[in-house]
DNA sequence: ACTTCCCAACCGAACGGTCGGTTGATCTGC
DNA sequence: GCAGATCAACCGACCGTTCGGTTGGGAAGT
């Protein structure tokens, strides 16, 4: 009973958050109006203000709610001890690509960029709770491999640059050129991910096992 | 005389474009009002509409004007035959980092992402005249090196992913976290560029001459 | 069991203000 | 005197936000 009620209450809130996230993705922050938001939610504008004190708070809730679920996946990653070093980084790539390209919070990055000047606190929060945590998990995985001698020692600032750069840009490009009818041939996620992983493994000093060249011993 | 007049007329236009570009960078497209724009230009709003038929046209002019000057630098790059292959790609990295991070058009990318859903034609134009041309120049430089045997053959989609990804993300990050007081220590352009170039050279099959490890022959 | 009260949720209507865009008059340089 | 540049004033539409009021399902009082 109490559960039903709770579900009902939070589902309304979640419903608004989902619609708002989609709207912010489509039209940006300033381009999204509370009137439009109310319309797609099927409620009156005033009712929005019953659930959220203002537009800015609503946006912050979208971001917070978004990375809450995203970062959990990352923490699971590091904890898994059944994988060897290369398997671990492969799993990490799968996870990072999925989060950045498919999850709301990853896709919201350009919108956060839009408001970063007028709401610098949101940018700070986003960096601390999303960017920095992603970097920390990657750094843990790599440094563990370095200690075991699997990888060469790394400049981690450069490594983050090389790992996150292509992923974030791919996500941005896919948002930016979403209107292209040949989006997946322009930006084929799996192919780019595989090439990217291969390059990073090379950079880490791991012989690339995927090497397609038939090289007779 | 005619030159003076032309300068006068076009300087007014350039003045507006510069102020508008900065405003769009600060507040995004929807967040920038024509009223505010007129104020920072020191003219009346109606005068803006004398020079540009509308807000959207003004924005397009900002983008167009931005990459007009940016792409010229790129074409110079490919034409220079006094450089060898590695020098050429090093110069290309300098140029790409400079354009993407410092020039208006590079920094405008997040704003184009903001409007890409409502103005898909702008996104298309941006891709054709800026993204695609950058990729074409890079591809020419690399493929010339491949033909001469300096580089390993490449999957160019992956290569673009690896080269442009970190640069664009660095630019985005610096816009996004411009409010950080330690921006340059968080995102040290020269250090990241050097590490990035080194990794790409490795990927191209070039022995890294910058290798800091003292390795006795 | 029945009344009273509470309160979250929702609504229609309106607030002051700003939006992108327009009008017609005035100024300026040739 | 004439064409282009600039201006103050204005327009309807829409913005984020708030108001006063209604609803309906539980808790409290008797």
> 3-state SS of chain B: helix, strand, coil percent to 5?
75, 0, 25
The mean pLDDT value for A129-158 works out to 94
Residue B178 to chain A, least CA–CA distance (Å) = 8
Q: Are B210 and B194 in contact (CB under 8 A)?
A: yes
Model pLDDT for residues A162-180, shown as the tens digit of each residue: 999 999 999 999 999 999 9
Chain B interface disruption, residue of A131, A173, A178, A193, most B CBs within 10 A: A173
* Residue of chain B minimizing CA distance to A205: B202
The answer on pLDDT for B73 being more than 90 is no
Q: Are B165 and A165 in contact (CB under 8 A)?
A: yes
The mean pLDDT value for A118-141 works out to 94
Q: By three-state DSSP, how is residue A51 classified?
A: helix
Residue A215 to chain B, least CA–CA distance (Å) = 15
B29 CA, D2 C1': separation in Å? Answer: 38
Run of H or E including A66: helix A55-79
User: Last residue of a domain, which of B52, B69, B90?
Assistant: B52
Q: Which nucleotides of C are covered by protein (CB under 7 A)?
A: 8-14, 18-24, 30
In a domain, A112, yes or no: yes
When CB atoms are compared, the residue of B120, B166, B172 closest to A166 is B166
Cα–Cα dist A212/A28, whole Å? 43
Residue B162 to chain A, least CA–CA distance (Å) = 6
* Shared domain check, B100 and B64: yes
* Shared domain check, B105 and B162: yes
The mean pLDDT value for A36-55 works out to 94
For residue B35, what is the domain's CATH number?
1.10.10.60
Percent of chain B exceeding pLDDT 90 equals: 79
Confidence grade of residue A9 (pLDDT, cut at 50, 70, 90): low
For residue B199, what is the domain's CATH number?
1.10.357
When CB atoms are compared, the residue of A123, A155, A192 closest to B179 is A123
Task: Kindly report the backbone phi and psi dihedral angles of residue B30, in degrees, each rounded to the nearest multiple of 5, phi listed first.
Answer: -65, -30
* Shared domain check, B96 and B179: yes
* Shared domain check, B74 and B9: no
When CB atoms are compared, the residue of B169, B175, B202 closest to A203 is B202
* Residue of chain B minimizing CA distance to A113: B176
Confidence grade of residue A4 (pLDDT, cut at 50, 70, 90): very low
In a domain, A10, yes or no: yes
Q: Is the torsion defined by CA of A39, A43, A46, A50 positive or negative? A: negative
Model pLDDT for residues A88-97, shown as the tens digit of each residue: 999 999 999 9
The answer on pLDDT for B4 being more than 50 is no
Q: Which nucleotides of D are covered by protein (CB under 7 A)?
A: 4-10, 14-20, 26
In a domain, B210, yes or no: no
For residue A44, what is the domain's CATH number?
1.10.357.10
- Mean pLDDT for chain B overall: 88
Using a CB-CB cut-off of 8 Å, the residues of chain A touching B117 are: 26-27, 178-179
In a domain, A213, yes or no: no
* Shared domain check, B103 and B38: no
* Shared domain check, B91 and B131: yes
- On the CB side of B121, how many CA atoms lie within 13 Å of its CA? 5
Residue A199 to chain B, least CA–CA distance (Å) = 6
Domains: count for chain A:
1
Confidence grade of residue A69 (pLDDT, cut at 50, 70, 90): confident
Q: Which domain holds residue B29?
A: 1-52
Nearest nt (C1') from B56 Cα? C20
Cα–Cα dist A170/A120, whole Å? 24
In a domain, A215, yes or no: no
* Shared domain check, B64 and B139: yes
* Shared domain check, B72 and B29: no
Cβ contact A113–B155 (<8 Å): no
In a domain, A21, yes or no: yes
Q: Is the torsion defined by CA of A113, A114, A116, A119 positive or negative? A: negative
Cβ contact A176–B112 (<8 Å): yes
Using a CB-CB cut-off of 8 Å, the residues of chain A touching B184 are: none
Q: Which pair of tokens denotes residue B165? A: 């990804």
Cβ contact A176–B30 (<8 Å): no
The answer on pLDDT for B8 being more than 60 is no
Buried b (16+ CB within 10 A) or exposed e, A70-104: bbeebeebeeeeeeebbebbbebbebbbebbbebb
Q: Are A152 and A201 in contact (CB under 8 A)?
A: no
Cα–Cα dist A23/B203, whole Å? 40
In a domain, A50, yes or no: yes
Using a CB-CB cut-off of 8 Å, the residues of chain B touching A196 are: 158, 161-162, 165
When CB atoms are compared, the residue of A28, A166, A168 closest to B30 is A28
In a domain, A209, yes or no: no
Q: Which pair of tokens denotes residue A33? A: 């109006």
Q: Is the torsion defined by CA of B205, B207, B209, B215 positive or negative? A: positive
The mean pLDDT value for A194-204 works out to 96
């Amino acid at each position: 009973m109490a559960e039903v009620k709770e579900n009902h209450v939070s589902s309304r809130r979640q419903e608004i958050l989902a619609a708002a996230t989609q709207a912010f993705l489509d039209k940006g922050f300033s381009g999204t109006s509370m009137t439009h938001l109310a319309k797609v939610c099927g409620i009156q504008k005033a009712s929005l203000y019953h659930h959220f004190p203002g537009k800015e708070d609503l946006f912050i809730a979208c971001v917070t709610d978004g990375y809450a679920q995203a970062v959990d996946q990352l923490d699971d990653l590091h904890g898994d001890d059944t994988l060897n070093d290369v398997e671990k980084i492969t799993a990490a790539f799968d996870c990072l690509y999925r989060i950045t390209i498919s999850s709301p919070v990853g896709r919201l990055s350009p919108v956060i960029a839009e408001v970063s000047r007028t709401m610098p606190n949101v940018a700070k929060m986003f960096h601390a709770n999303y960017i920095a945590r992603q970097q920390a998990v990657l750094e843990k995985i790599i440094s563990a491999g370095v200690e075991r001698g699997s990888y060469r020692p790394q400049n981690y600032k450069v490594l983050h640059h090389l790992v996150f750069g292509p992923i974030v840009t791919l996500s941005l490009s896919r948002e930016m050129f979403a209107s292209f009818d040949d989006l997946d041939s322009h930006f084929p996620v799996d192919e780019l991910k595989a090439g990217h992983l291969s390059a990073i493994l090379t950079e880490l000093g791991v012989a690339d096992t995927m090497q397609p060249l038939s090289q007779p011993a």
